[in-house]
Structure 1
């Protein structure tokens, strides 16, 4: 029997690669996206389009009512969006308090309800400097909790936890993935800004792979 898996799918590069990786491994994927009150939902549109084209079960969960509890982040609040590389100190302004613990908890509940043994998310090595909820110790502790939180143990799986964005893209390209189907920019305008940390890291990944990003940029 094909094993069911829940994939937290934002519509960005990392989760797009994870989604396709699980599909290619033969898993029965149930994609889960969240509107948690982020400033724009463009990523969610990309996620919906990909899942529709691939025939993947996809649920978009509106938890935007909790937005007022997650104040202080440039992604959810009136804080200006910082520009520059991810490892710059000002990128800490893009941390959404406790986001991944909240999303993983909901995803695990969904996994239990559909008899899925695993929940995947796209934490990677480049996130460690800024995002505490993408670090190996966080993933390990969440796994410990998810093993005992329900009658059925659920495993948190992070295929790229120790790899860079460059390596994720390399893997995705080896699978023949089309990254024009993803949205990474923290700004939800018609074209990607090319200046925020998400854009900078994405552009760097394509450059390191000797390729031009298919995403359209303002400059």
Structure 2
């Protein structure tokens, strides 16, 4: 009889790229539900919506999850050609579409963040990096598409002596499907931040807010976040925001 090998420490550990948003919040809890030893990793790259980092820190404290915020603002001048990193640019409004939200693309962001997360995983002996790329981002963000994730996974397997798996559990899921999974887990999405402007209240008009509201509408649920302007969720859903 052949005995199966016992799980190693690497098999039981994951570095989760945790922005503080809905998707990474759900990924974080999903990894914990798998029984993994989770290490949350957030990045300050000079984003306008840095409030998400405060939310991420609060959640990790409440869960007792190790959390590291990496300050990479020194690269801001390399990635400032985006409305998310340049406060002088107007934030586009409306639903996610190539014609109006290309201004929110941060150059090479996920390759940068994944590279650093892989380094963290190798450093602490974790075998996996989780991040929240999802199907709704495919039209606009090349670094959220399956081809990118598959290529990065291949590179992560050979870039170090210890192979690291890139795990994107919602790669082919919509925002509404991610939310449905989280609601089934009993998650409280008041503990997330989505708005690109990062003000005291969510704006309700940027593409990120509208996609979020549409996801709640698709699940017949009410978003617990307060908004400056909360559009009619039925209208958001009818426009295909989810």
TM-score (norm 2): 0.89
How far does residue 87 in structure 1 lie from its aligned partner after superposition? 2.1
Matched, 1:134 2:144: yes
Which among 216, 220, 223 is matched to residue 210 of structure 1?
220
User: What is residue 157 of structure 2 aligned with on the other side?
Assistant: 147
User: What is residue 102 of structure 1 aligned with on the other side?
Assistant: 112
Which among 13, 17, 22 is matched to residue 22 of structure 2?
13
How far does residue 188 in structure 1 lie from its aligned partner after superposition? 1.1
Matched, 1:171 2:181: yes
Once the two structures are superposed, residues 53-112 of structure 1 have per-residue CA deviations (whole angstroms, 9 ceiling, x without a partner) of 000000000001100011210000132110000125111110000000000000000000
Is contact 1:122-1:159 (8 Å) kept?
Answer: yes
Distance 1:183 1:39 in 2: 12
Taking the TM superposition and a 5 Å limit, the aligned residue runs for 1:70-81 are: 70-77=79-86, 78-81=88-91
How far does residue 151 in structure 1 lie from its aligned partner after superposition? 0.2
How far does residue 211 in structure 1 lie from its aligned partner after superposition? 1.1
User: What is residue 236 of structure 2 aligned with on the other side?
Assistant: none
Higher alpha-carbon deviation: 75-84 or 46-55: 75-84
User: What is residue 116 of structure 1 aligned with on the other side?
Assistant: 126
User: What is residue 33 of structure 1 aligned with on the other side?
Assistant: 42
How far does residue 21 in structure 1 lie from its aligned partner after superposition? 0.3
Gaps of 5+ in 2: 1-6, 230-242
User: What is residue 200 of structure 1 aligned with on the other side?
Assistant: 210
Is contact 2:16-2:40 (8 Å) kept?
Answer: yes
Distance 1:128 1:67 in 2: 24
Aligned length: 219
Distance 2:228 2:177 in 1: 26
User: What is residue 67 of structure 1 aligned with on the other side?
Assistant: 76
How far does residue 136 in structure 1 lie from its aligned partner after superposition? 0.2
Is contact 1:72-1:79 (8 Å) kept?
Answer: no
Bigger radius of gyration among the two = 2
